[in-house]
Structure 1
């Protein structure tokens, strides 16, 4: 497990090409792609830009993200980061002046690609602390990329965030160390519960994950497997408030069995890497929720956790499953989203266009899910 403060990074490009699948299996090519762009029942849908291309509009389906949370309290999706009280012993200064208030806009789109079924699941919670209220602003976003089925992804979607909250995610004063400890414990509890349920239910599928928690002005990103988070950050901010050229920064680190550090850990646990680079010749990723049959040979659900502070330089984030990043490089995706936002499109329209571009134009054949999170400043 690598846990550290994420302050800067390089543009780690992902090569475009055919998506690799976590478990071996046959794909079925389909001439027509059935696309679903989903808006959580916990958020208010953003609208397409008036006069925009009607082809950008796709059918919508609401999804209850967490059954335990009262959706009536979360109708307004564009939320203001609340002003925090600061004490001398606080680890980070999270006070936000009236000039520095940050608003969050986010939405998600998905497409099953050429697969027969959709095995991805997602979470959009702009107000993510309702069960554990506190002074500290809390939002949560996540993508769970299932393989071998959807049961593991759905279980994680319903349990991870509540497990992280109950494990002590800070709700009053920001404490980076306590936040990362709560996330680690939340992942452990979720995987433990998932393995018990899968044994009872007789299923063995797994799920990778990329998750974001926004606490005050601190962003924490946790991942297992090959789902990624990419940050769009400008090199500096001009005096008039306009930004310079955006850089794409890959916040997450992939966990694949073929990578040296993961390979060594797997071999120490008694597992082996086949000539195809897969664990036991079958599983491509080395960290995931579930995958009960591979847990004794090195698969773990311990995430890498990174953190950074929101400033005027951070513009937006893109979360995506490996289907998206198999056909989009990080810089390419940032440029695509930036252009759409500058054209005045809503976050809903941008997320739809990003996924449609991946599947229909770049021929992503895997399930494809993307969340776009935009940070707006109060001018």
Structure 2
């Protein structure tokens, strides 16, 4: 009964901050976004099971976590504009040969993030918005996935190690100011890095938005990587840093391994269990998207 009450309390905190469309020809997923011990919930999520539902047999899922800060304007702008901008940047390019399609998606992701950063900064300047956001995005197909990251939200894969165990594989690197290349760029632009933060308060070296810090070396250039999608009984997990305040990447995969793989809405079951566990220790807002690959 205590566990049931705890889960109901958790779901009561869930915030409607998701753009989600699921079609029968796409990738099913689970997602959850809750407000922790923060005054505001600025996280936003995308879970689009198939961006190409009208494009033959190709299925291309788009999933994202946007962890906003100093206001929700940046994360809200991203969740409302990411899908149409990515769709426009892919338009006419998806007839490339299968050997080139991953490169097409990678280029479209990079262009989409750059264009959204530029558009949002114009709005931020006009409205005097200091807000910014991370962006952790996965585009998933049957053959490959393309992962893009700006900031400290994180993508991991839970993959089999040859046996029954699901092992965590981190797909992104957090952008922190104390990393040598990041610190060099920030200091060259006039920013000061001390005790792991910029100018005494900002803990990330890359973010979308954050207009006041753009002349201090904070950029929105994503790291983008391409991964072969061969592990068909694993999971892809995208999450805000709040999840990892309460658990490690391997603990996320251990939870995924404990969920019955025949469970209806498998991704949602894993998302619910992971957030419930992390929220016992994390004070931050938590947002997660889980994509099972056995589909």
Q: TM-score range by the shorter chain?
A: 0.7 to 0.9
Whichever of the two has the greater Rg, that structure is 1
User: Deviation digits for residues 200-252 of structure 1, max 9, x if unmatched?
Assistant: 1121110011101113421111001110011011133xxxxxx5322110000
The reply to whether residue 160 of structure 1 matches residue 71 of structure 2 is no
2:67 and 2:17 map into 1 onto residues whose CA distance is 17
State whether residues 271 and 290 of structure 2, in contact with CA within 8 Å, keep that contact through their aligned partners in structure 1: yes
The reply to whether residue 370 of structure 1 matches residue 288 of structure 2 is yes
Equivalent pairs counted in the alignment come to 284
- Give the TM-score of the pair, scaled to structure 1: 0.69
1:133 and 1:229 map into 2 onto residues whose CA distance is 27
- Give the TM-score of the pair, scaled to structure 2: 0.88
Q: Give SS of 1:282's match.
A: coil
Q: Which of these residues, 249, 258, 280, is aligned with residue 169 of structure 2?
A: 249
Give how far 1:353 is off. Answer: 2.1
Structure (1 or 2) with the greater helix fraction: 2
Give how far 1:325 is off. Answer: 1.2
Q: Which of these residues, 195, 206, 211, is aligned with residue 137 of structure 2?
A: 211
1:134 and 1:161 map into 2 onto residues whose CA distance is 19
The reply to whether residue 354 of structure 1 matches residue 280 of structure 2 is no
Give the CA RMSD over aligned residues.
2.3
Distance 1:261 1:349, change over 3 A: same
Unaligned runs of 5+ in 2: none
The reply to whether residue 124 of structure 1 matches residue 50 of structure 2 is no
2:275 and 2:111 map into 1 onto residues whose CA distance is 32
Aligned ranges 1:30-49 → 2 under 5 Å: none
Give how far 1:311 is off. Answer: 1.7
Distance 1:133 1:201, change over 3 A: farther
Distance 1:262 1:134, change over 3 A: farther
Unaligned runs of 5+ in 1: 1-52, 67-73, 81-103, 237-242
Give how far 1:143 is off. Answer: 0.5
Partner residue in 1 for 2:223: 304
Q: Which of these residues, 191, 198, 201, is aligned with residue 271 of structure 1?
A: 191
Partner residue in 2 for 1:108: 31
1:163 and 1:343 map into 2 onto residues whose CA distance is 36
Aligned ranges 1:38-187 → 2 under 5 Å: 54-55=4-5, 56-57=7-8, 58-59=11-12, 65=19, 74=21, 76=23, 79=25, 104-129=27-52, 133=55, 136-168=58-90, 170-173=93-96, 174=98, 175=100, 176-187=102-113
